Structure 1
């Protein structure tokens, strides 16, 4: 098992590096004019990915899925809002609510992987870069079938929206390591399906249509410190 994982890591790193080089060759000189700036930018991109855990990591516009679009809109709205204002604090609460929801899903995956013996490798297996491409997957159909099964037969994801595409790439890795079926069995045992009434996660449920509408209205409005911001109309997330 250890040699298979090591081989996977080497191939994964090579593919990521090759993809990054292909994307950058036509846009960047072979030697960046400011290597430190380039390094800082790459570090920031990776930090952003790990912080936001984009549901569709290969979408740089963050607009293909409603939840990605909502989170991105919140981040952009907060960037335009004066720090410390009522609006800024409200946006920060909702941004963290969305991030917490995504971290909770990731933590479920990590728990299962660690239970399977991948204590040291879990974080690496769960890391998906923005350059992830379906073309580089080894067994996309089987990975998608497993993702559908996890979504319909476990509570590892919310049943109210499609499962995040980022986990398709992770399942492809698990298939390569020949542990995907073991992972599925553990997921069914640890996180059996729940009734809709049991699926509520207080404080973390996101009303995406309302959130998107409110952020769009905020982007077209004025200063968040005006009287409108001080009305007790609740946060953008659904805190039922």
Structure 2
């Protein structure tokens, strides 16, 4: 396990190298820089972006909807009905993403990686497809997990963040073991089973709500004040 942990440190540490190189060696305000980095990492872990390297959060529909909800909430008066509705939608999307991540964590822990699971699953905005060691094999495994297991809820393309994680598992030579466990713990749903609601089902509704809130926030706040 010791050699595996050393490998883990190497393959996970590289995600932030690009970001570090772009930052000034001596920030003008070290405390402000530190606080900004902590907040950025907290946001990344909270939202679990499907495309972690997309800083605009606009490349994938689910990321675009979640980002739109977050932006709409910042423009809505806290405590208003609109604010509460947006918060419910935001947490629903976050919960779905967290549930998927918990499935992956459970499998890794079952493989014996109790201490390393969180590090293996951590993907920062500095992660790059260009730095993947075995992208074709990782993509093939991701497709198999998506079609032959129920680790993902949606039938839409799986989040790219897990492609980067699978590349790590390939490097550690545990990807096939992970796939076998996933098939055992989370077999595909039968056609007769009721499909769990995925993000794709809610995306049109949520996007319509974002657009409606953008144009209705001011009117709603004024109406509540009148009441």
> What is the TM-score of this pair, normalised by structure 2?
0.91
Deviation string 1:37-91 (CA, Å, 9 cap, x unpaired) is: 0000000000001100000000001011111011000000011111100000111
Query: After TM superposition, where is structure 1 displaced by more than 3 Å over at least 4 residues in a row?
Result: 199-206, 224-228
Q: Which residue of 2 aligns with 1:233?
A: none
Q: Is the 8 A contact 2:111 2:178 kept in 1?
A: yes
Q: Select which of 91, 98, 101 maps to 1:103.
A: 98
1-structure distance, mates of 2:126, 2:198: 32
* Structure with higher helix content: 2
Deviation string 1:131-180 (CA, Å, 9 cap, x unpaired) is: 11001111000000000000000000124211000000100000000000
| 1:40-59 → structure 2 map (5 Å cutoff) | 40-59=35-54
Q: Which residue of 2 aligns with 1:88?
A: 83
Q: 2:28 matched to 1:33? A: yes
CA offset at residue 195 of structure 1?
3.2
Alpha carbons of structure 1 residues 197 and 98: separation in structure 2 relative to 1, 3 Å: farther
Deviation string 1:186-238 (CA, Å, 9 cap, x unpaired) is: 0000000003553534798851012112201221234234669xxxxxxxxxx
Structure 1 gaps, min length 5: 229-240
Q: Which residue of 2 aligns with 1:20?
A: 19
> What is the TM-score of this pair, normalised by structure 1?
0.87
Q: 2:130 matched to 1:135? A: yes
Q: Which residue of 1 aligns with 2:8?
A: 8
Structure 2 gaps, min length 5: none
- Pairs aligned (count): 223
